[in-house]
Amino acid sequence: MKRKKVKEEPTDLMQINNFLDYNKKLEVNDKTFEKLMFIYSIAIRELETKIEIMKDEFKIFYNYDLIDHINTRIKTPESIIEKMKKRNLSLNYKEMIENINDIAGIRIICPLKKDIFSIINLIKKLPEINILTEKDYVTHPKESGYSSYHLIIEIPVTLSKNIVYVKVEIQIRTIAMDFWASLEHKMKYKPEEEIDKKKSKEWINCAKTIQKLDNRMMLLNS
């Protein structure tokens, strides 16, 4: 009788040793870096597919647009190195894998504030996904006015010789929250613009207005 193949259990990304020298200096054009970014990109694809299925299910089965759209990104090598330097981390692969949790990122944009928490509950029910950390900037916005829900998760990625857990950052926010965050980000990183106290206060007031708008829209749709 043919034996049933036992599925290999996923391990942490740090367990891969067939191409990784963990203490090797992290370099932008290094082949190891390219391989690691490929693994992070697979993790994004895996998660995006699951979220797209969730989106389509609610549209087809319940005639409800739970998710408006999804954005994904992989941090550039330069931004990873810059972040590591700011945090005074050693520039090697071990430090990068263990401490930089937002190399792979997915942003889920939904219509209403209540949808954020529905999506979170659905993500937590996805099989094989581990929730590592949660930050609720929806209930408790940052002082700047920034509002969003952040999750760091681990998702299994199947390779030919390994199944590994890879960390991905998930940000969930409403259309209104995303509008504010996108403009605030562009303003903050304009080299010729300096945000003084007056402008900063105006950004916070705009964020509060958007929070009120989100609450009113939720009441209208209840």
pLDDT for 20 equals 66
pLDDT for 1 equals 38
Indicate whether 70 belongs to any domain: yes
Please measure the distance between the N-terminal and C-terminal CA atoms of the chain and give it in whole angstroms: 58
State which residues form the domain around 151: 11-220
pLDDT for 188 equals 62
As a three-state string, the secondary structure of 82-117 is: HHHHHCCCCCEHHHHHHHCCCCEEEEEEECCHHHHH
CA distance 177 to 214: 8
Task: Single out the residue of 66, 72, 65, 76 nearest to residue 49, CA to CA.
Answer: 72
pLDDT for 6 equals 38
Indicate whether 3 belongs to any domain: no
pLDDT for 2 equals 40
User: What is the count of structural domains for the chain?
Assistant: 1
pLDDT for 193 equals 56
| Contact status, residue 169 vs residue 40, Cβ threshold 8 Å | no
Q: How far, in whole angstroms, is CA 126 from its chain's centroid?
A: 16
| Contact status, residue 113 vs residue 174, Cβ threshold 8 Å | yes
Task: Single out the residue of 166, 165, 154 nearest to residue 123, CA to CA.
Answer: 154
**Which portions of the chain are predicted below pLDDT 50?**
1-7
Task: Single out the residue of 100, 54, 64, 109 nearest to residue 81, CA to CA.
Answer: 100
Q: Which residue has the tokens 């903050």?
A: 188
pLDDT digits (tens, 9 = 90+) for 158-193: 888 888 999 999 999 999 999 878 777 666 655 555
pLDDT for 12 equals 72
What's the CATH code of the domain at 142?
Answer: 3.30.460.10
pLDDT for 90 equals 93
pLDDT for 4 equals 40
Indicate whether 5 belongs to any domain: no
Indicate whether 97 belongs to any domain: yes
pLDDT for 5 equals 41
